[in-house]
Amino acid sequence: MKLNSPLQVYKYLPQTNCAECGETTCMAFAAHLIDRSKKLDNCPPILKEAFKKKYIELLTLLAPEIREITIGVGERAKKIGGDDVIYRHQLTFFDPTAFAYDVWDTMPEKELVERVNKISNFKKFYIGKFLRVDMIAVRCVSGDAAKFAAAVKKVNETTTLPLILCSFDPAILKSGLEVVKDKNPLLYAANEKNWGEVAELALNYKVPVVLFSSDLDKLKSLALTFGEMGIKDLVLDPGTYPQGKQLKETFERFIKLRRSGIKEAQKDMAYPVMAVPLNAWLVYKDTAAASYWETVLASVFTVRYGDIMILHSLEPYAMLPEVHLRETIYTDPRTPAKVAPGVNQVGTPTKDSPVIVTTNFALTYYTVESDLSSNKINCYLAAVDTDGIGVEAAVAGGQLTAAKIKDAFQKANFEFKDKTSHSTVILPGLAARLQGDVEDVTGLRVMIGPPDSGRIPGWMEKNWPPKPK
C-alpha cells in the first residue's frame, strides 16, 4: 500500500519531535517525506536499531509507484521514472524526461567527436537556469563488434554524459559494455529473440536494460522473466511508430503502461517507459519533415508518459521546443518558479543609476533583467518576495505592498543615502496604485515606470535622471 498522507507516514516515525531532521515536529517531517523534499535518512532516530523494522517498512511504503532507476555515474548520472501520479496536478512529476541524442559507429572520428561535443555542450538559459540534454545513445550501424566498441570508447573519452548502447546483437552490446562497464550504461535492447543473452549481460555487468516489444503481453512476459531473474532496473519500450493508426496505437500503449503501473498497481509493469522519436527519420526522408515530426513525437510523449527518449536532430528548431516543453511539464505546479529576494546589480551601477522594483517571480524577474542588461541600463534591480507571484497578481492579492518593498531593501542592507544620489525608487506600471503608500512608508521619492519592461529604455530617455523637486 502506497502511503499518500502525512498522517499515514507519521504512524511509522519515532514521534519524538526531536527536530534533528530540521523540522519542529514529526508530522511536519512526514509532510516533507510525502512531497519528497526530505529523505527518510534525514531522521537520525529512525536509523537506530530500535526502529529498524519501521524504517524498512517505511522505505517500501514510500517508494514511488513507478520504479526509479539511475543511468550513468557521477554528477551527470540521470534518474528516470519515480512517478506516483497519472496527472501532474495531483502531485507533480518528479524526474524529468531524459533526452538522449544519437551517434553511430560508422561516423568518421572527427564528425563523431564534433557531434558528441555539440550534444554535451548544448545549453539554453531559461528563467534562472540552463536547460541541457542528458545522454548519448551510441547506435551500432556497422554490425561490427570491434567497430562499435571503438566508437563507444571514443564517445566515453569525449563526454561525461551517461550512455545508451544500442543493438539487438548481444555480442555487440557486450563489446561496448567491456569499454564502459564501470559507467552504468543503459542497454538497448532485449526482445523475445535475444532476451536470454541480454539478461545474462545485465546480470553480469549489473546495468539497467530496455525491454522491447510492441505487444504489451509479450512486454509483460519479458518484464516478469527479468524480474524473476533479479533484474529490477528495467525500462519498457512498447515501440514508437510515427504515422497514422500505428501512432494512435503507440499513444494508447503508453497510457496503458502508465495506468497499469499506477492505477492498477501491476508492479511487474511499473517501470519507466521509453519513446524513440528518432524513428521519424525512418519514415520521412526530407530532413525538415523528419525533424519536425521527431519534435512532435517528443512533445507528445513528454506529456504522455515518456521517461526517456532517443532523438536525432540537433537543429535549434528541434531541440529548443523539446527542452522548453519538458521544463514546463516537469515544473511543480504547486510551487511558483521564483528567485531569491534581494537587491541585485545589473551592469555597473553608480550613485546616479536608477533603482527598479519587481517581484521574485522568476519569469518576471529574468524578463526585466534581460531587458535592462540587453539595453545596457546600469541599475539596481530589487526582487521583492511575493512568494513567486507576478506584479499585477501580487498587487491585487496583497503579496506586493509598501511594507514588503521596504523590507526587501532593509534585508539587503541597501541604504539609499549611501548607494544613490537621488533617493528614488521606480515601481512597475502595474503597481502604480502603491505609489503613495511606498512614499509614506519608505520616505523615498517614487516614480512609476512602464507596465512592460520592454518599454523601459524609452521611458528612461524621457524620465531619467529625475527632475529636481
197 Cα distance to chain centroid? 34
Ramachandran region, residue 362 (left: φ > 0; alpha: ψ -120 to 50; beta: rest): alpha
pTM across the whole model: 0.84
CATH architecture for residues 342-463: 3-Layer(aba) Sandwich (3.40)
In the chain, where does the domain assigned CATH 1.10.15.40 lie? 6-62
CATH of domain 69-329: 3.20.20.20
The span from the CA of 329 to the CA of 307, in Å, is 12
Residue ranges matching CATH 3.40.50.11600 in the chain: 342-463
Cα distances from 109 to residues 142, 143, 267, 310, 362, in angstroms, run: 14, 17, 43, 21, 42
Cα distances (Å, whole numbers) of residue 124 to 24, 328, 366: 39, 14, 14
- Residue of 267, 244, 246 lying closest to 257 (CA atoms): 267
pLDDT tens for each residue of the chain, 469 residues long: 577 788 989 989 999 999 999 999 999 999 888 888 888 999 999 998 888 888 988 988 888 899 999 999 999 999 999 998 888 877 788 899 999 999 999 999 999 999 999 999 999 988 878 999 999 999 999 999 999 999 999 999 999 999 999 999 999 999 999 999 999 999 999 999 999 999 999 999 999 999 999 999 999 999 999 999 999 999 999 999 999 999 999 999 999 999 999 989 898 899 999 999 999 999 998 999 999 999 999 999 999 999 999 999 999 999 999 999 999 999 877 777 889 999 999 999 999 999 999 999 998 999 999 999 999 999 999 999 999 999 999 999 999 999 999 999 999 999 999 999 999 999 999 999 999 999 999 999 999 999 999 999 999 999 999 987 6
Chain region(s) in the chain for CATH 3.20.20.20: 69-329
Q: For the domain 6-62, what is the CATH superfamily, name and number? A: Electron transport complex subunit B, putative Fe-S cluster (1.10.15.40)
Alpha carbons 405 and 436: distance in angstroms, whole number: 13
